[in-house]
Amino acid sequence: MSEPAVELRDVTKVFTSTRGDLAEEVYAVQEMNLEIAQGEFFTLLGPSGCGKTTTLRLIAGFERPTKGEIFIHGQPMSKVPPNLRPVNTVFQNYALFPHLNVARNVGFGLEVRRVSRPERERRIHEALDMVQLAEMSNRRPSQLSGGQQQRIALARALVNQPAVLLLDEPLGALDLKLRKAMQIELKQLQAQVGITFIYVTHDQEEALTMSNRIAVMNKGRVLQVGDPVTLYEKPASHFVADFIGESNFFRGVVEAVSGQLVEVQVSGTRVRATAGALPPSSGQEALFAVRPEKVRLIISEESIDGALRGVIQEVIYIGTDTRYIVNVEAQSPVAVRVQNGCGIAPQEYRRGDVVQLSWLPEDAHLLAD
Amino acid sequence: MEHPRRLFALIGPPSVYLTLFFLLPLGIMAVFSFRAGTIGEARNVFTLEHYRQFIANAAYHRLLWRSSLMAFGIASISTLLAYPLAYFLTFQAGERKLTLMTLIIIPTWTSYLLRVFAWKLILGTNGLLNTLLLSLGIIDQASPILLYSRTAVMVTLVYVWVPFVALPIFAALERIDRSLLEAAADLGCKPWEAFLRVTLPLSAPGVIAGFFFCLIPTLGEYVTPLLVGGGQGAMYGNLIQDQFVRALNWSMGSVMSLAMLLAVIVLLVIFSRMGSFSKLLEL
Ligand SMILES: Nc1ncnc2c1ncn2[C@@H]1O[C@H](COP(=O)(O)OP(=O)(O)OP(=O)(O)O)[C@@H](O)[C@H]1O
Ligand SMILES: [Mg+2]
């Protein structure tokens, strides 16, 4: 395997702010370890304030790590200033130069690197073509819409052909429709140019749509790294299961363990789940999660082996699916999603129906709390 | 004009003020410039004689030109000194910004005359500077040229103006989005390149404003040259003052004032051509 494009080894960033004689320490990034492969579309995903921007700024060189080391293409970066790092950034607020027109904004990096004029003009033109804004080259940034500015910011970074492109919520300011269109455009562009993208977002759907791999962050720590399918199908912690998609959480006591298969006593019923990375022992408290679309509903007053008994509290029809909220004794209400596919009548079940809830053991994951 | 009354309320007071204290005196001065004399019967005789005299007298032109050069020099030096000051306040001072800013502004609360007199004490023959240089053995005789010279006028005026020139530059620097400097570094700029390509052009409106705020009043300056300039440091403003106060030739004084007004207008046209005036208003 070739060396990673970017590697973070044990990186910690502490901000110290003094207010009066009160020194306050903020751990923005804690003991972060990441390896990002060349050509990868890698996403940092997490709620506001979890340290995503700080991580990008550490890689770009605007902040220095308090501890640990960052490598780009195997080279340690601790003594390399931002202007010498082989990375470019698309800033959250675009940071286009207001005194320069679009063409000079895009050509800024080339001008600084003393690229010859004809070569520069060719590459500016190419970059503007790529983001489909060739006809805007004489405008000032203030004369462009938010979406256009975003594309110029992208062109300004890509024109330098960096080894790694850092993008800090570049679609944050766009409306939903444009955002969706740009997600696909960006993804295609990345595949086309083959540059490593490190992308920051707090939107889990955006992360799932675009990324090869995602690092889920919370409070300055990376909780789980994986491709979208793994993160969705096999979340390792309560936070990840909750933050990515929707999950039903059940609490119970472990009754029996055989290999990966775990039997858990939940509200007086024995149900089955998968152990995952943390093999539990009998008698231990356990928490596991099941996705709403992985829960099967069966109308039956009689109990079924391995199924939880519940009462339908609410039926919500949302076109492609119907959503049921089911009350289960001593648990939070359970969400169930049933697709309205061929031959399935919508609203098959009604409010007040007594149902049995079951799932495949591999769809129920024991979680770290 | 949806609300003519409100509009009138808004522009009424300033226009009354401008008419009373600006247009009216200017008009009176214009009238005086045509009068044959300041007192007596000559008041009622109108003539172009003083204009002819002004145009014929090369000494006046030379002084106006020299004063313009001095004002230009003073404004340039003040701007060159004010820029690093404003830059330091904006980017380096951190939490001490407000304190330092206050320290710079406090002296301007004292009387202007007092500050000019202070320089007289510093530059005088038995002044601080001479005494210091003597005691250090750098010179062996007190130098009288420090005071009553063009240099003295320039030093004093630069001192007076630096804080005022620094303010608009400071405001322009403060307005620069820091992420633009990060973007410049990100795109390969060394710190000084980022300064030349981003900081300097974006602070240009403040620089130009500061420069002209200093240049225009300095052109008409007469108090400082009077106190520290001596014969050699006299400026055009002193000539005008002499006409009004000593020669009692108000007509000549008026003609000379109008000539200076013309010079200022030319400068203002250049100012607005540089595009910064409109940009200042827009930002
Ligand atoms: N310069 C700074 N000084 C002090 N604290 C800071 C600084 N920059 C960031 N922080 C703190 O570090 C933490 C992480 O901030 P960061 O900007 O990385 O979050 P983020 O994940 O990008 O959030 P968002 O999604 O809101 O942009 C926050 O608690 C923030 O307050
Ligand atoms: Mg952020």
- The per-residue pLDDT for A132 is 85
Question: Ligand 1 pocket by C-beta < 6 Å: which residues?
Answer: A 15, 17, 26, 28, 46, 48-54, 202
Residue A295: pLDDT over 50: yes
Q: Specify if B35 maps to a domain.
A: no
Q: What is the mean pLDDT of residues A315-333?
A: 88
Q: What is the pLDDT of residue B281?
A: 43
Q: DSSP letters of A329-366?
A: TTSPPEEEEEE--TTPPTT-S-TT-EEEEE--GGGEEE
Q: Which position has the higher pLDDT, A331 or A248?
A: A248
> Are the beta carbons of A97 and B180 closer than 8 angstroms?
yes
Mean pLDDT (chain B, rounded)? 86
Within-domain flag for B180: yes
Closest CA to A218 of A30, A12, A42: A30
Read off the pLDDT of each residue in A62-88 and give the average, rounded to a whole number.
Answer: 94
Chain A residues whose C-beta is within 8 A of a chain B C-beta are 60-62, 81-84, 87-89, 91, 93, 95-99, 108-109, 112-113, 156-157, 160
Q: What is the ipTM score, two decimals?
A: 0.83
Predicted confidence (pLDDT) at residue B2 exceeds the cutoff of 70: no
Tokens for B73, please give them.
């020099």
Contact state of A88 with B184 under an 8 Å Cβ cutoff: no
Amino acid B5: pLDDT: 79
Query: Which CATH number belongs to the domain containing residue B151 in this structure?
Result: 1.10.3720.10
- In a domain? residue B20: no
Instruction: Give the residue whose CA is nearest to atom 12 of ligand 1.
Output: A28
* B107 inside domain: yes
A95 to B183: CB separation less than 8 angstroms, yes or no: yes
Q: Would you say the C-alpha torsion B218, B219, B223, B226 has a positive or negative sign? A: positive
The answer to whether residue B172 sits within a structural domain is yes
Give the pLDDT confidence score for residue A192 in this predicted structure.
Answer: 87
Model pLDDT for residues B177-220, shown as the tens digit of each residue? 999 999 999 999 999 999 999 999 999 989 988 998 899 899 88
Task: Give me the residue label for tokens 């005359």.
Answer: B113
Model pLDDT, residue A346: 58
pLDDT over threshold 90, residue A72: yes
Q: What would the mean pLDDT of B62-85 be, rounded to a whole number?
A: 93
Give the pLDDT band (50/70/90) at residue A256.
confident
Give the model's pLDDT for residue A339. 85
Q: Which of A284-293, A320-329, B70-79, B234-243 is predicted most confidently?
A: B70-79
Asked whether residue B241 is assigned to any structural domain, the reply reads yes
Q: Which pLDDT belongs to residue B130?
A: 81
Q: Average pLDDT, stretch B78-98?
A: 91
Contact by Cβ (8 Å): A332, A260? no
Q: Is residue B243 part of a domain?
A: yes
Choose from B176, B179, B181, B186 for mutation: most chain A CBs within 10 A: B186
Could you give the number of structural domains in chain B? Answer: 1
pLDDT in tens, A123-133: 999 999 888 88
**What is the model's pLDDT at position B279?**
53
3-state secondary structure of A143: helix
Say yes or no to pLDDT of A361 above 60.
yes
CA distances from B187 to A8, A158, A168, A195 (A): 22, 11, 16, 16
Against a cut of 0.95, is the pTM above it? no
- By residue range, what is the domain housing residue B182? 64-281
Q: Does residue B108 sit within a domain? A: yes
Average pLDDT over residues A190-201: 92
In which region does residue B247 sit, left (phi positive, over 0), alpha (psi from -120 to 50) or beta (all else)?
alpha
